[in-house]
Amino acid sequence: MKTTLESVVIKFAGDSGDGMQLAGTLFTDTTAVLGNEIATFPDFPSEIRAPQGTVAGVSGFQVHFGTSGVHSPGDAPDVLVAMNPAALKANLHNLKPACTILIDVDSFGKKDIEKAGFVTSPLEDESLSDYKVIDAPITSLTKAALADLGLDNKSADRCKNMFTLGMVFWLFSEPLEQTIAFFEQKFKKNPTIGEANIIALKAGYNYALTVEAIKSSFTVLPAKKKPGVYRNITGNQATAWGLMAAAKKAGKPLFLGSYPITPATDIMHELTKHKWAEIKVFQAEDEIAGICSTIGAAFAGNVAVTTTSGPGMALKTEAIGLAVMTELPIVIVNVQRGGPSTGLPTKTEQSDLLQAIWGRNGESPVVVISASTPADCFDWAFEATRIALEHMTPVILLTESYLGNGAEPWKIKTLNQLPEIKPLTLETKDASWRPYNRDDEKLARKWVVPGTPEMQHRIGGLEKDECTGCVSHNPQNHEVMVNIRSEKVARVANFIPEQRYKGKDAKKLLVVGWGGQFGILFGAVNELQKEGKDIAFTHFNYINPLPKNTAEIFSKFDKILVCELNKGQFANYLRAVLPQFNYEQYNKVQGLPFTVKELKAKFNELLEEK
């Protein structure tokens, strides 16, 4: 029997070495090819090798796919793949009634159960009676399927994730061809390993087809999308591609100077694949060298980028100030993670906002923008580059671990579909030129690269003369330059779109968000709007400066609720720049995104207040 579903949430969970991230990614890729809407949430331990078999060592990958209405990875799974007792223990509190649980019974030995924190075996004590449990000897069946290949025990054991994936593919009527092609390509130089994974995949599929415990399969129909070519993309990939596209539109080579740091490193990895596109990637010895090389590359006329996360931003602080002083166009991408210090390197958080806006010595203003979804990281990386080049200013682009590692379908764009980028480059002699001469609209100086004939000039970290660029200790000149740099950033508001909001007839409650929680906030508000609730939603990508009509929107509502994954940083920023409004807060700092359920409860609480 086959049942058609509107949407499904699946969570693959197991020990760090069980290959759940790969299984989830391959399932997502296949689902994307079939045309479903998708949102994913990879979640893995912060430790490189957490204690095996413990709840702390559980690695998970959640994917929500459907025909429509997929705005988030989902609150709770409809299907849980639990490769060991710890994976079950870690997720048991967050399961829907009648959830299907796929279990590898070979991993449920007495010691495994005790290590996970169970007092008794959950397979025997009726604690799973409310769920549909599929208990299969996955490890032993995988080894039996691979017996003729002559693999060692460890190599055979590693293929159990593909046996499990094969079962899930059958359960949701999805084809194997995409995954088979992946292994054929990946293991061209080691075909035995590729063959082992393919055999395990097919064995899991066939086992699900024949085992009596699985009596039916499901189908999720493709989403209705605008015509075009789509691919599955992560936020870090999209960021890299947006930077490449911007460099091409600007007619400049792209330079990345970075130091590896979780969760931003994949941007650097992606850019190293595209040397054909005039990309230079420099893996620096530390964060300071990364951004200083970026400043040098900008001085030399490149589209110059550095990538990092919160701890790296702290180290780059003085050099960002140097970029402000020299008024060079650089893009700093901060893929935020939980802090402080090393904090939670693999968990998501929005805790670097105030650091981005104000976290430098002196009066050191920069433009700050943020991305909303994995796919639109492309657009905001492009926009960050456009603003930097057209306004001659550093720009900080904030994404998050949730976005960088998450994935969704993306409609591929051609360069012709993208807006123009017009760098303020001056390449021929101009007798009236001075390093800090500015245009009237943007207050931006011209970009003259070293080697331009008869246009030698000085820039550096000491305060500059308003016109010549020579070092100046004049108090009045310093105040003039401070005010100009501030006004230049403020005038960016004249060149960005006005803020939009959803819920034109609402008056009681405006939900405000920023960054990567867009889909979850939108989904929660959308559900309440369908119920007839007096609620609206606006989400910010331009943060410093804010869109010019922000105060106009806020003035329409009785209550404003700011939701963010920190202790209230955007709310406090709004209090500073728009103090005439009262802001309520809803905050979460657990290294996890919001859930629709908890958001709706908070929204209803405020809506019911008199």
**Are 563 and 513 in contact, with CB atoms under 8 Å apart?**
yes
Place of tokens 């007092």: 119
Reduce the DSSP state of residue 39 to 3 states and report it.
Answer: strand
pLDDT over 90 at 3, yes or no? no
pLDDT digits (tens, 9 = 90+) for 142-180: 999 999 999 999 999 999 999 999 999 999 999 999 999
**Are 41 and 57 in contact, with CB atoms under 8 Å apart?**
no
Reduce the DSSP state of residue 100 to 3 states and report it.
Answer: strand
Q: What are the structural domains, with CATH classification, of the chain? A: 2-220 (3.40.920.10), 232-496 (3.40.50.970), 509-608 (3.40.50.920)
Hey, what are 490's tokens?
């403020």
pLDDT (0 to 100) of residue 467 = 86
Work out the angle between the directed axes of helices 191-210 and 177-186 (0-180°, nearest 10): 160
Spatial distance between the Cα atoms of 115 and 280, rounded to a whole number of angstroms: 48
Backbone angles phi and psi of 388, in degrees to 5: -60, -45
**Are 381 and 246 in contact, with CB atoms under 8 Å apart?**
yes
pLDDT more than 70, % of the chain? 100
pLDDT over 80 at 212, yes or no? no
pLDDT digits (tens, 9 = 90+) for 180-210: 999 999 999 999 999 999 999 999 999 999 9
DSSP secondary structure of 370-420: E--STTTHHHHHHHHHHHHHHHTS-EEEEEEHHHHH-EEEEE---GGGSPP
Spatial distance between the Cα atoms of 599 and 521, rounded to a whole number of angstroms: 7
With cut-offs at 50, 70 and 90, classify the pLDDT of residue 427: confident
H helices, E strands: number in the chain: 20, 21
Backbone angles phi and psi of 57, in degrees to 5: -95, 10
| Segments of 29-183 assigned E as strands | 37-43, 58-66, 79-82, 100-104, 132-136
pLDDT digits (tens, 9 = 90+) for 5-16: 899 999 999 998
Spatial distance between the Cα atoms of 592 and 590, rounded to a whole number of angstroms: 5
Spatial distance between the Cα atoms of 238 and 494, rounded to a whole number of angstroms: 27
Helical residues (DSSP H) of 439-595, grouped into ranges: 475-490, 518-530, 550-554, 569-577
DSSP 8-state symbol, 344 = B
pLDDT over 90 at 567, yes or no? yes
With cut-offs at 50, 70 and 90, classify the pLDDT of residue 50: confident
pLDDT (0 to 100) of residue 1 = 63
pLDDT (0 to 100) of residue 51 = 81
Whole-number mean pLDDT of the chain? 94
pLDDT digits (tens, 9 = 90+) for 82-98: 999 999 999 999 999 88
Whole-Å CA distances, 77 to 7, 41, 63, 98, 336? 11, 12, 9, 10, 26
Ranges 48-52, 119-123, 356-360, 516-520: which has the least confidence: 48-52
